[in-house]
Amino acid sequence: MSLTQNNDKHPVFMASVSMHLGTFPSPETVERYELILPGTFDRILTMAEKEQESKISSDLDTVKIAIHRERAISTSILCGLTFGFVSVVMYFSLLAYSMALGNVTMFCTLFCAGAFAGLANLVRSFQVKGDKTTPSDVSVKK
């Protein structure tokens, strides 16, 4: 800042502001830092490198967690599908066995139980479609 006098003898103050956008200070600022404390810019560079390494490590951890979660969900879905398939095969096998034995009571009991289970799953599937949240929609929080 400088103080100058105008013709009316009132003091006039002038100021200048310099801004630099970016990761590092402007070259003129760095030069002044180095005059005051040699090695300052090297310290600034080291600090920026450490911050970048930390961010990369954090992002990598986030990606690893997301991959692990997706694999767990995929494994869970595969187990559920396998169990469902085996259950359906066993159900129809028991129906065929009861027909082969000629046991009408066993056949009707199995058929009604399967129908009620199927109806319950059908209703549940419509309820899940109304809910838009799925496990893969949940984001990983830092």
State both tokens at 135. 């496990």
Percent of the chain, pLDDT > 90? 23
Q: Which residue type sits at 108?
A: C
Of the spans 15-19, 109-113, 137-141, which averages the highest pLDDT? 109-113
More confident residue, 96 or 128: 96
Average pLDDT over all residues of the chain: 81
pLDDT digits (tens, 9 = 90+) for 122-135: 888 787 665 555 55
By C-alpha distance, which of 131, 96, 130, 129 is closest to 111? 96
**φ and ψ at 2, to 5 degrees?**
-135, 150
Chain-centre distance of CA 18, in angstroms? 40
Residue reference for tokens 């056949």: 107
State both tokens at 131. 């809910």
Q: What angle do CA 87, 129, 78 make, to 5 degrees?
A: 35
pLDDT digits (tens, 9 = 90+) for 42-86: 998 999 899 999 999 999 999 999 999 999 999 989 998 899 889
pLDDT digits (tens, 9 = 90+) for 17-43: 777 777 788 888 888 889 999 998 899
- Helix/strand/coil for 26: coil
Task: Provide the pLDDT for residue 56.
Answer: 94
Segments making up each domain of the chain, as ranges:
22-137
Q: Which residue type sits at 23?
A: T
Residues 127, 109: Cα–Cα separation, whole Å: 27
User: Above 50 in pLDDT, residue 97?
Assistant: yes
Task: Provide the pLDDT for residue 59.
Answer: 93
Q: How confident is the model at residue 142 (pLDDT cuts 50, 70, 90)?
A: very low
